[in-house]
Each structure stands twice: as structure tokens, then as C-alpha cells.
Amino acid sequence: MKRNIFFLLLLITTAAFAQPKLKSGPMVGYSEMREVGLWVQTTDAADVFIEYWEQTIPAKKFRTDKFTTTKHRHFTAKLIADNVEPGRKYDYALYINNKKVNISYPLTFQTQKLWQWREDPPPVTFAVASCMYINEEVYDRPGKPYGSDYEILEALYKTKPEFMLWMGDNIYLREVDWNSRTGIYKRYSHMRALPQLQPLMGSVHHYATWDDHDFGPNNADNSYTHKEKTLAAFQDFWVNPTFGINGKPGVTTRFEWADLEFFLLDNRYYRSQNERVTGKRQMFGDEQIEWLIDALKNSFAPFKIVVAGGQILNPVAKWETFSIFPEERQKLLSLIEKEKIQGVIFFSGDIHSSEITRLEREGTYPLYEFTVSSLTAGVSKPKPENNTARFGIENLAEHNFGHFTVTGPRKDRVLEMKLILKDGTAARTFTLKASELK
């Protein structure tokens, strides 16, 4: 009898340890015509791979290479689906230690369509957001929790965007986090494991840039001594196409979706201290601005979307707007005008409310900036004088995200923005034609 009980306990224990050990994910990253990036995090060291198949041919299955997660990278893995064809939709399954992980929500990804020289570009649907604070009471400031309304992630998921653009403050490093690699990776892991986030990660493609709370302490600049560590964590937890430009460290990258181009800037790694009065003062640095102008000039996209963690066009030099670096801001805007670059619009986060900025320019089209914030972090309502170029109705001081669609034939594309609240209702709408940006 005792022997039977022993073997029963042994079987139960063995079975328990043989179960897949999933921490968070899987998440779908970048999408190209020939490959798709995927991500997953396990609870400890494990072998992982993803099996995938075209939705119309479920019997023909492919696998990514197998990857062994390690403690040094906090058990994260990036997996590449490279046996794909353009313009197809795929279902997939995650395997940990050769066992399929049962997941209750859909796991899908898509490759981008080969439309060039063949037909008009397809319609595009995407979401944007910033400022996601996930409470952890023992390490948060005492008092009222700063994060709330996590159900907004479910509302976002229900809008079925093709991809999502995270515009900074995607996590909030705390005092306990930002002075050690251990703390930085623990904060990323805590945020990424949020239950309400999992379905969104499983079937919506994700791209990201950062702002101060992903990079380091509040208002952190290039003097932050652990920026190599936060950059490594950003690279381990996001699946962007690239990280940095010209062989230099950072999170700068670009990607295309249909006929749109997105230029994700790094406003932290090379940033001067905000209040410094001597020396050269910069947010992006000459090299990044020159890269951006070259990339914009090279683009044929009707909407060239420049993304940064903080506001670019707001003319008021307050908090962390680009206007606190007036020489560099003027250089960027002047180059866009002198090079006669059409179709430029800006996206940003940071300010814990949402608004549209419209900057009039003599002799050429006005520049627009869509600022979308906050997703779950505390909201605030800036005074009108904090943005003298605010366009239209007052800013939106509620938890919200941006939902964008681009439709129409190649030479007459139209962008529509909706700011959506936690209950799924649209609080603001705005439409912009590419023909207005010439």
C-alpha cells in the first residue's frame, strides 16, 4: 500500500513538473512579407518553439527553430516564423519542453500583402497607446493606486487592430527597479504577465518605442548610468524589426505597413539634461535627425508617421515637450520644410491626456500631431495655455487609446482617428486626407 502511494505521488509530482511553464505571451511582433517575429516568456529554463499553419491549409504545418530560455534574459525568447507567404493569415501553437500549451484565446498572425505594382494598397487598422501603469502595491507609492481600468485592454482587443503601436511609458520603473538589472527585468516581467494583456498579445502585432519610465527614472536623460541595462531589457521584451541606427545603441527603428511608413524615434538615450543651460542641448541628436530626414525624403508613403515618447509640435516649453530644446526643434521643422517633404504627421504620448496639435506653416501644409495618453496610468487635464497650438475641442482626460484606419485608393488615402474609452465607446473622432498634407 505504501509503495503504491509512493509511486502515485511520484507520478503526480512528475506530471506537475512536466507541465508547460508559461509566464507570459506568446506575443506577435513585427510582420513582413517573408517572416514574422514572435515572443514568449517562461517561468524558468525551457525549450520553446512555435508551430504555425496557414488558416486555409491547416494540415500543412511549419515550426520555428527551437530556443532554450535562460535566466540571464529572464527566460524570454524570440522566435521567427520564416516559412510564410505574403498576404496570408496563420494560426499557431506554442510548445514548451515539447508539450503544446493550451490557450483559451485565438493565436494568429499575418504577413503583409504584396500589393505594389498590382493593386491599390489594402485598408489598414491599427491602435496606439502610451502610459500603462500596472500596480504592485508593495513597491508603489502609498495611497491611491496610480494604475486602474485594466479592462480597457479588453476593449482595445475587441476593436481588432492589425497591429498596435506602443508610444512610451509602456512600463513604469520604480525606485526599487531602476538601479539594477534584476529590478528592471522584474518590472518588465510583472507588466507583461498582466492577464488582461494576454489575448491582445496573442493575435495583434506589436511595435514599440520608449519614454522616460521605460528608460529609467522620471525625466531621465543620457546621464542615466543603467541605460545599457534598460536598452537590453527593451530589446528582450519587444520584437521590433531593428534597434538603433548606424550601429549606435538605442531604440530608433522604422517599419512599413501597406503604404504607410512609421519612424520610431529614441528621445532618451542621447538626450541632454532638461534644465542644462550650457553646451549643446538636444533631445534626439544630429545623427538621429539626419537619419530621420533621409528616411522621410526617401519615403513615398502618403502618411509618414513620426513617433516619439513626448510631444514634438507643442510650441510651449513646459514639462518635457521638444520646445525645451528650441534649436534642435527648429532644425527638424526647418529641414522638413526645406526638403519639401509631404505627408508628415507626428504621434506621441506622455502627457496623460489626449489631444491634437496643429502647427500652421506659412506657404505649406500644416503639421499635425496626435497625442494619445493615458492607457491605465493616472490622468491629468492640462490647462489651455500648456499647448497654444491645440486643435479643435479640449483634450481628453480619461483612460483611452487611439484607433486608426487608413482607407481609399493609392492616390487618395484617408486617415480616421477615434479615441476610445474603457467601455469601448468613441469619445473623439477626426479625419485627415493625405491630399491635405501636400
pLDDT cut 70: percent of the chain above it: 96
- 30 and 90 part of one domain: yes
Q: Which residues pair with 344 in a beta bridge?
A: 304
State pLDDT tens for residues 24-58.
999 999 999 999 999 999 999 999 999 999 999 99
Q: How far apart are CA 69 and CA 76, in angstroms?
A: 6
Indicate the burial class of 94 (C-beta count within 10 angstroms; 0-12, 13-18, 19 or more): buried
State pLDDT tens for residues 313-349.
999 998 899 999 999 999 999 999 999 999 999 999 9
Confidence of residue 383 (pLDDT cuts 50, 70, 90): confident
Residue 275 lies in a domain: yes
pLDDT cut 90: percent of the chain above it: 93
Segment 85-112 mean pLDDT = 97
- 160 and 220 part of one domain: yes
Do the Cβ atoms of 163 and 208 come closer than 8 Å? no
Do the Cβ atoms of 413 and 258 come closer than 8 Å? no
- 263 and 411 part of one domain: yes
CB within 8 A of 85, min separation 6: which ones?
A: 33, 54, 111
- 366 and 424 part of one domain: yes
- Per-residue b/e over 48-59, b at no fewer than 16 CB within 10 Å? bbbebebeeeee
- 250 and 344 part of one domain: yes
Domain that holds residue 26: 19-110
Q: What is the pTM of this model?
A: 0.94
Shortest CA distance to 403 belongs to which of 124, 137, 38, 63?
124
Residue 256 lies in a domain: yes
Tell me the H-state helices in 221-373. Answer: 227-237, 286-298, 326-338
Confidence of residue 3 (pLDDT cuts 50, 70, 90): very low
Report angle CA 123, 127, 130 to the nearest 5 degrees. 155
- Per-residue b/e over 403-416, b at no fewer than 16 CB within 10 Å? bbbbebeeeebbbe
In this structure, the number of other CB atoms found within 10 A of the CB of residue 249 comes to 16
Q: What is the DSSP letter of 28?
A: E
Confidence of residue 390 (pLDDT cuts 50, 70, 90): very high
State pLDDT tens for residues 145-167.
999 999 999 999 999 999 999 99
User: Which domain CATH number covers 99?
Assistant: 2.60.40.380
Residue 14 lies in a domain: no
User: Which domain CATH number covers 157?
Assistant: 3.60.21.70
- 101 and 169 part of one domain: no
- At 214, list the grid cell: 521605460
Give pLDDT, residue 168.
Answer: 98
Q: How far apart are CA 121 and CA 326, in angstroms?
A: 38
Cis peptide before 26 (omega within 30 of 0): yes
The answer, yes or no, to whether residue 9 has pLDDT greater than 50, is no
State pLDDT tens for residues 242-301.
999 999 999 999 999 999 999 999 999 999 999 999 999 999 999 999 999 999 999 999
- 74 and 189 part of one domain: no
3-class SS of residue 394: coil
The answer, yes or no, to whether residue 6 has pLDDT greater than 50, is no
Residue 426 lies in a domain: yes
The answer, yes or no, to whether residue 11 has pLDDT greater than 80, is no
Q: What is the DSSP letter of 354?
A: B
Residue 11 lies in a domain: no
Residue 12 lies in a domain: no
The answer, yes or no, to whether residue 18 has pLDDT greater than 50, is no
In this structure, the number of other CB atoms found within 10 A of the CB of residue 93 comes to 17
Q: How far apart are CA 238 and CA 39, in angstroms?
A: 8
CB within 8 A of 36, min separation 6: which ones?
A: 28, 29, 30, 80, 81, 84, 90, 109, 110, 111, 205
- 285 and 148 part of one domain: yes
Q: What is the DSSP letter of 216?
A: S
- 132 and 265 part of one domain: yes
- 104 and 128 part of one domain: no
- 294 and 373 part of one domain: yes
Q: Which of 82, 110, 138 is a domain's end point? A: 110
Q: Which of 110, 135, 154 is a domain's end point? A: 110
Segment 371-381 mean pLDDT = 96
- 55 and 134 part of one domain: no
Number of domains the chain contains = 2
- Per-residue b/e over 101-121, b at no fewer than 16 CB within 10 Å? bebeeebebbbbbeeeeeeeb
Residue 195 lies in a domain: yes
Q: How far apart are CA 144 and CA 236, in angstroms?
A: 32
Residue 375 lies in a domain: yes
